[in-house]
Amino acid sequence: MARKRRSGRSLAYSKLGDFIFDQNPYGTDLQYPQNYKKARIAKYGLGKRFDADRPFGVLDVRKDPKLRRLYRKGLFWPLNGAKRRVSKALRIPYTFKDPAGKLHRGALLIGYEGAGGGP
């Protein structure tokens, strides 16, 4: 369990989860995995091995050519006409039923925007 949640901030995390859930465009019949440790949640990007318990260190990508190359290998998502650097992306599967009762599969994509540990 992540440090932040252990420190008494669970209400903020619960509100964030509620907000994300409320933003789904398919109604309330969304089914997310019940066990996130067993679910097939794909992790991408330079930060895929890092989390709240094992965060990135602070790296200055401007001073090291090797780090600059790593920075350019990162994920870039086009949003509203601009490229956004995503240090870590998660793909969380879900299912939902349409009004006719047909089951569909989709995924929630979460991207942590940042420089991959750099400035």
Indicate the pTM of the whole model.
0.75
| C-alpha to C-alpha distance for 61 and 64, rounded to whole angstroms | 6
3-class DSSP state for residue 35? coil
> With 0-12 CB in 10 A as exposed, 13-18 as middle and 19+ as buried, what is 101?
exposed
Which pLDDT value is given to residue 90? Answer: 94
Beta strand pairing status for 42-44 and 75-79? Answer: unpaired
Which pLDDT value is given to residue 92? Answer: 92
For 47-93, what is each residue's pLDDT tens digit? 888 888 888 776 677 777 877 777 777 788 998 998 888 889 999 99
From 6-10, 17-21, 53-57, 91-95, the region with the lowest mean pLDDT: 6-10
Domain boundaries, given as residue ranges, for the chain: 28-113
